[in-house]
Amino acid sequence: MVEVEQILQRAVEERVTPGLAANIFVAGAEEQALRLVKGTLGYGAQEAVSDETIYDLASLTKVLCTTLLTCHAIQLGKLDILEKPWPSWPGVSVLHVLEHTSGLPAWAPFYRRTPHDVLAQVLATKPTNLPGVQVVYSDLGFIALGDLLQNRLGNKLDVLFIDVAQRHYGNTALTFHPDPLLVAPTDYCPWRKRVLRGDVNDANCYAMGGVSGHAGLFGCAKDVESAARFFLDAICGNEQGLPGLVRQFATHNGKRPLGFDRVSIGGSTGNALSPRSVGHLGFTGTSLWLDPQSQAVYILLSNRYQNGGKKTGIKHLRVSFHEAAARFLFRNS
Mind listing the pLDDT tens digit for each residue in 62-75? 999 999 999 999 99
pLDDT at 113: 84
- The whole-number pLDDT of residue 239 equals 95
Q: Is the pLDDT of residue 331 over 90?
A: no
Q: What is the mean pLDDT of residues 19-41?
A: 94
Query: Which of 28-42, 154-168, 216-230, 272-286 bottoms out in mean pLDDT, i.e. has the lowest?
Result: 28-42
Quote the CA–CA distance of 68 and 136 in Å, as a whole number.
22
pTM, whole model, 2 decimals?
0.97
pLDDT at 321 over 60: yes
Is residue 301 within 8 Å of residue 224, measured between CB atoms? yes
Q: Give mean pLDDT, residues 96-119.
A: 93
How far apart (Å, rounded) are the C-alpha atoms in residues 262 and 192? Answer: 34
Which is more confidently placed, 227 or 306?
227
CB 323 within 8 A of CB 272: yes
- Angle CA(213)–CA(215)–CA(113) in degrees, nearest 5? 90
Where does the pLDDT of residue 32 fall: very low under 50, low under 70, confident under 90, or very high at 90 and above?
A: confident
**157: Cβ–Cβ under 8 A, 6 or more apart, which residues?**
65, 69, 146, 149, 150, 176, 211, 212, 213
Mean pLDDT of the chain: 95
SS3 annotation, 9-68: HHHHHCCCCCEEEEEEEECCEEEEEEEEEEEECCCCCCCECCCCCEEECCCHHHHHHHHH
Given its phi and psi angles, is residue 295 left (phi above 0), alpha (psi -120 to 50 degrees) or beta?
left
What's the pLDDT tens digit per position in 133-146?
Answer: 999 999 999 999 99
DSSP letter for each residue of 197-259: SSS-S-HHHHHTTS--SSS--EE-HHHHHHHHHHHHHHHHS---HHHHHHHHHHT--SSS-SS
Residue 34's CATH number: 3.40.710.10
Q: What is the pLDDT of residue 45?
A: 83
Q: Specify the number of domains making up the chain.
A: 1
Count the Cβ atoms, other than its own, within 10 Å of residue 83.
Answer: 11
Q: d(Cα 327, Cα 194) in Å, to the nearest integer? A: 41
Q: pLDDT-derived band of residue 31, with 50, 70 and 90 as boundaries?
A: confident
Residue 8, helix vs strand vs coil = helix
Give the range of the structural domain holding residue 37, as residue numbers without chain letter.
3-329
pLDDT in tens, 183-215: 999 988 999 999 999 999 999 999 999 999 999
* pLDDT above 70 for 333: no
pLDDT digits (tens, 9 = 90+) for 281-314: 999 999 999 999 999 999 999 998 765 555 679 9
